C-alpha cells in the first residue's frame, strides 16, 4: 500500500466509472485536493483530518462548492477504508451543511427577448474566436430545453441527432440518461450553428467547444451569462437580485406550467413528462416550481383538489 494520493484518486475514479458514473466534476475536485495536499502536506498519501479541514477552509466562501467537495472527499475516504487504508479520515455528515438554495429568478418574456438580442451581438474575440457563435447557441438550448449548465457545456456532437430532432443526455446526475426531443425550429437553428462551428473546428468532439476541442468550464458559462445579462440590463447591476445561467432551466419549467394552464391542459397529467424531460429523479423536484409562483400554485389548487394531498411542504433540501 505505497501508492501516491494521485494514484489512489485515479483508482477511485476508475472504480466509480466502472459502476456507471461519469465522475468528471468529482475527479477535477479530488485532483485539486491532491495538488493542495502535495504543496502543503507533501508526506501525506491518505486523506487526514488536518489536510481535509485545511483544504475545505480554502473554499468556505462558496457554500455550494464546499458541500460538493465534502461529499466527494467523504466518498473517496470510504472507498479507501474499504480497500484497507483504514487511516483515511471521513468527514462527518453534518460538518458541512447543505447550502441554502438560491431563489430562482423568473424571467419575463421581454427580458428573454432582450437577453438573446444581446447574445447575438457578442463581439468577436480573437483569443476565443468561437465564443460569439457558441454561447448564443448554448444558452438557447438551455432556454428551450431546460438543460442543466453541465449538460449543455459537456454535450458531445455524437449525442446530437438533428436529422431526427433529438439529443441524448448521458449520465447527467448519477448514472441516469435521457433522450429529449426538440422542435423543428430549434433543430434547424442548431444545424446552422453546427455548420458554422464545423468550418472553424471540423471533426470536433464537443458540440459547444471552447479553446481547441474542450468543454467550457462552469465558471465561463456563468461569467459569460452575467456579462451578457448586464450588457442587456446595465440598470440591474448591483440591485441585490441574484441571477444565474441556471435560471434558464427554472424558466423552462415555469413557462411550460404557465402555458399548460393557459391552454386548459391537465397539469397533473403533464407533470410526469416534464419530470422526465428535465431529468428530475422524483416528482417532488418538479412540484417545487409550484411554490415559486403563487399565482400558478393557486390556480392549480382551484382546478384540481388532487394537489391538496400531493404537493409537499418545501424545505431547503428540495431543490436539485
CATH number at residue 145: 1.10.443.10
Of 33, 64, 82, the residue that ends a domain is 82
* Residue 18 sits in the same domain as residue 59: yes
Number of residues that this document lists for the chain = 320
Number of domains composing the chain: 3
Asked if 176 and 187 count as a contact pair (C-beta separation under 8 A), the reply is: no
pLDDT tens readout for residues 192-227: 999 999 999 999 999 999 988 999 988 999 999 999
The pLDDT profile of the chain, 320 residues, written as one tens digit per residue, is 689 999 999 999 999 999 888 787 889 899 999 999 999 999 999 999 999 999 999 988 777 788 889 999 999 999 999 999 999 999 998 888 766 667 888 899 999 999 999 999 999 988 888 999 999 999 999 999 999 999 999 999 999 999 999 999 986 555 578 999 999 999 999 999 999 999 999 999 999 999 889 999 889 999 999 999 999 999 999 888 889 999 999 999 888 888 888 888 887 788 888 889 998 877 777 777 766 655 555 555 555 444 444 444 443 333 34
Residue 24 located in a structural domain:
yes
Phi, psi (degrees; rounded to nearest 5) at 296: -70, -40
* Residue 156 sits in the same domain as residue 230: yes
- The rounded percent of the chain whose pLDDT value lies above 90 is 60
> How many degrees, rounded to 5, is the angle at CA 143 between CA 118 and CA 119?
15
Neighbour-count burial of 163, counting CB atoms closer than 10 A to its CB (0-12 exposed, 13-18 middle, 19+ buried): exposed
* Residue 122 sits in the same domain as residue 219: yes
H/E element, 29: helix 24-40
Asked if 222 and 152 count as a contact pair (C-beta separation under 8 A), the reply is: no
H/E element, 95: none
* Residue 293 sits in the same domain as residue 264: yes
* Residue 201 sits in the same domain as residue 260: no
- pTM equals 0.70
| Rounded Cα distance, 212 and 116, in Å | 26
DSSP 4: -
Query: What are the residues facing 181 on neighbouring strands?
Result: 166
Neighbour-count burial of 298, counting CB atoms closer than 10 A to its CB (0-12 exposed, 13-18 middle, 19+ buried): exposed
Domain that holds residue 120: 109-236
Amino acid at each position: 500500500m505505497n501508492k501516491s494520493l494521485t494514484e489512489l484518486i485515479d483508482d477511485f475514479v476508475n472504480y466509480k466509472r466502472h459502476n456507471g458514473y461519469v465522475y468528471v466534476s468529482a475527479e477535477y475536485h479530488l485532483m485539486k485536493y491532491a495538488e493542495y495536499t502535495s504543496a502543503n502536506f507533501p508526506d501525506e498519501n491518505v486523506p487526514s483530518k488536518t489536510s481535509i479541514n485545511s483544504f475545505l477552509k480554502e473554499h468556505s466562501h462558496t457554500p455550494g462548492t464546499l458541500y460538493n467537495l465534502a461529499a466527494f472527499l467523504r466518498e473517496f475516504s470510504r472507498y479507501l477504508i474499504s480497500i484497507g487504508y483504514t487511516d483515511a479520515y471521513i468527514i462527518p455528515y453534518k460538518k458541512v451543511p447543505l447550502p441554502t438554495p438560491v431563489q430562482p429568478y423568473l424571467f419575463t418574456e421581454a427580458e428573454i427577448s432582450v437577453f438573446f438580442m444581446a447574445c447575438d451581438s457578442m463581439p468577436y474575440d480573437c483569443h476565443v474566436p468561437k465564443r460569439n457563435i457558441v454561447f448564443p447557441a448554448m444558452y438557447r438550448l438551455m432556454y428551450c430545453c431546460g438543460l442543466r449548465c453541465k449538460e449543455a457545456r459537456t454535450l458531445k456532437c455524437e449525442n446530437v441527432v438533428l436529422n431526427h430532432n433529438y439529443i441524448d443526455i448521458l449520465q447527467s446526475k448519477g448514472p441516469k440518461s435521457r433522450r429529449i426531443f426538440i422542435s423543428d425550429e430549434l433543430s434547424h437553428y442548431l444545424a446552422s450553428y453546427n455548420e458554422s462551428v464545423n468550418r472553424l473546428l471540423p471533426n470536433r468532439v464537443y458540440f459547444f467547444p471552447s479553446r481547441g476541442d474542450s468543454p467550457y468550464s462552469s465558471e465561463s458559462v456563468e461569467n459569460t451569462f452575467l456579462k451578457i445579462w448586464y450588457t442587456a440590463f446595465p440598470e440591474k447591476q448591483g440591485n441585490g437580485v441574484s441571477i444565474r445561467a441556471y435560471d434558464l432551466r427554472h424558466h423552462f419549467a415555469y413557462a411550460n406550467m404557465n402555458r399548460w394552464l393557459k391552454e386548459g391542459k391537465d397539469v397533473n397529467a403533464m407533470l410526469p413528462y416534464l419530470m422526465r424531460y428535465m431529468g428530475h429523479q422524483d416528482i417532488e423536484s418538479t412540484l417545487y416550481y409550484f411554490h415559486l409562483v403563487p399565482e400558478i400554485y393557486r390556480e392549480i389548487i382551484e382546478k384540481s383538489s388532487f394537489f391538496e394531498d400531493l404537493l409537499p411542504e418545501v424545505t431547503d433540501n428540495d431543490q436539485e
